[in-house]
Amino acid sequence: MTIDFNNFNINTLYPKTDFESDVIFFLKDWFSASNTVEIQSSGSTGAPKRFEIEKQKMRNSAKMTCDFLLLDQDCTALLCLPIKYISGKMMVVRAIESKMKLIISTPSSRPLQNIEHNVDFCAMTPLQVEHSLDSLSLMKNLIIGGAQVSENLKQKINSILKIENADSKIFETYGMSETLSHIALKQIYPVEDKYFTVLDGIKISQNENSCLKIDAPKLNSEILQTSDIVHIVDKKRFEFLGRADFVINSGGVKIFPEILENFLKKNGIEKELIYAGIEDEILGQKLVLFIEGEEDSQMKNNVNNIPFEQKFHRPKEIVFLKQFPRSENGKILRKDVVFKNLK
């Protein structure tokens, strides 16, 4: 199903799939007299919760993204994310506000398998992108969210699109349900940026623990305090260092696991992996590297031979797990990985 919001009549829509029915149900809710929409968080950083969001704030968010990416009524967008979460709902609202054509595709790990023509705008999870690399050049503007984009995936995106000389722009997003999807974008291709750039109308600062504070009055009436440790470059740009919840304190030294994970990926370790701190009588927490897959002695040797900048960045132990537990949007559930090892 394709919906043309430049010539829209909900009474002419006839769903053929359950997902198309869900989208139409949301559209009826959106065009109802109510000023709010119910949102469910994904639960990737805590227990899932439901809350009401003003439709005007969602319109404001949609305008920020469409203005940044220069999306208008001549554009076509692809919806391939669950409509029950903010990510899917916002794709629909962006299409409505910019009067785009919206292609409705039931969410799957391979959302581009039936797409044959160019699409101006799409949002996907890293897992969906991983399974769509051979078709990415069809996307003029692609935003990737729901989980951090790994260094390995960034390298694959750049390698494939450079070979194809693709006229695409690929971005990693930063945001959460409370900010109505993303508030900042970081380009992956054709230029690989180091910093996130916030959208217009967003102000950023830090608390005493260097965690990001977001002032976005058009999206949320409260100043949002995150648990994300950042380096603020200027009023528009910041670098994500890691979640405060995941920081490892080993022998009195604070270690940011996300930075080390990216370092390993850049040094040729292509498997999915996470660093975690495991209780230790002497160090407080010892640094343990978890790698997804079967036991691999050669990979262990490769990790141990990497020239770490600090000796305490070298893992005290390397553990292989056949499969990491993940959330519905593909994000690795770090605490569950550690719990699985301790059982």
Q: Which two tokens stand for residue 323?
A: 């499969």
Q: Which two tokens stand for residue 140?
A: 């003029």
Final residue of a domain: which of 209, 242, 275? 242
Please state, in angstroms and rounded to a whole number, the distance separating the CA atoms of residues 118 and 25: 27
Please state, in angstroms and rounded to a whole number, the distance separating the CA atoms of residues 85 and 38: 10
Q: How confident is the model over 217-226, as pLDDT tens digits?
A: 999 888 999 9
Assess whether 87 and 176 both reside in one domain. yes
Expressed as residue numbers, the domain containing 326 is 247-342
User: Total domain count for the chain?
Assistant: 2
Final residue of a domain: which of 219, 242, 265? 242
Assess whether 125 and 222 both reside in one domain. yes
Assess whether 23 and 135 both reside in one domain. yes
Assess whether 141 and 263 both reside in one domain. no
CB 312 within 8 A of CB 253: yes
Assess whether 261 and 302 both reside in one domain. yes
Give the β-pairing of 317-321 and 284-292: parallel
11 by Cβ neighbours in 10 Å (0-12 / 13-18 / 19+) ranks as: exposed
CB contact set of 44 (below 8 Å; sequence gap of 6+):
146, 147, 327, 329, 331, 333
Average pLDDT, the chain: 90
Percent of the chain whose pLDDT exceeds 70:
95
Q: Which of 40-54, 165-179, 304-318 has the lowest mean pLDDT?
A: 40-54
What is the reported pLDDT for 102? Answer: 96
Distances (CA, A) of 191 to 34, 135, 137, 168, 283: 42, 19, 15, 11, 41
What does the pLDDT average to over 183-206?
94
What's 217's domain CATH number?
A: 3.40.50.12780
Q: How confident is the model over 279-298, as pLDDT tens digits?
A: 888 888 999 999 999 999 99
Q: How confident is the model over 215-255, as pLDDT tens digits?
A: 999 998 889 999 999 999 999 999 999 888 888 888 888 89
Final residue of a domain: which of 215, 242, 269? 242
What's 328's domain CATH number?
A: 3.30.300.30
What is the reported pLDDT for 339? Answer: 74
